Amino acid sequence: MQNALACVEPGKRKEKTMNQAAKTYWDEYWKEQEKPASVSAWQFGVDADHLAKLVIAGIKTATCSGLVFYELENEPLPAVGDYSIVLNSQDMPVAIIKTISVEIIPMNEVPEEFAVAEGEGDRTYQYWKDAHIKFFTEELSKVGLAFSEDMLLVCERFELIDAKK
């Protein structure tokens, strides 16, 4: 998968093979409770540590990806109820999140509230738009595609389940 800004790839999430530290964290969190059957482990894009801190602080509660990247990589879309272990830049687990909504929305129709929920930059719609135009223009050009403001985005909201102590 490509490197990413702050959203999630494909298109901004760097999926990782579940390492032993992530498996241990997952198992210890659930202890004797029945744990969900599946979980993925990944880190947010370019600044994984900063973005993970935003999640833990409750500032970042949403992320988005270009639908085209899921299609190109033949990856399943995130789904409501999915659990993820957020990794830092050293691939160490720092949090567990749960997907609470997924919508496919043209970029030029993403509501301001969603952009702000991504929690990045100065937390304005204009920052979100500018950063995403830059990111998607660069990433799409790497696969021979052109950016369009009506490109479809996978807009995902999540809740923090646990922050590793």
Domain ranges of the chain: 13-163
CB atoms within 10 A of CB 143: 11
Which helix (H) or strand (E) segment holds residue 115: the answer is helix 112-117
Return d(Cα 68, Cα 74) in angstroms, integer. 10
Give the per-residue pLDDT at 3: 28
Return d(Cα 65, Cα 60) in angstroms, integer. 15
Apex 93 CA angle, 88 and 96, nearest 5: 110
| Residues 64-83: tens digit of each pLDDT | 999 999 999 898 899 999 99
Q: Token pair for residue 81?
A: 């109820």
**Positions in the chain short of pLDDT 50:** 1-11
The answer to whether 115 and 108 have CB atoms below 8 angstroms apart is: no
| Chain CA centroid to CA 126, Å | 20
Phi, psi of 126, deg, nearest 5: -65, -40
Architecture of domain 13-163: Roll (3.10)
CB atoms within 10 A of CB 9: 25
| Residues 95-121: tens digit of each pLDDT | 999 999 999 999 999 999 999 999 999
Give the per-residue pLDDT at 21: 95
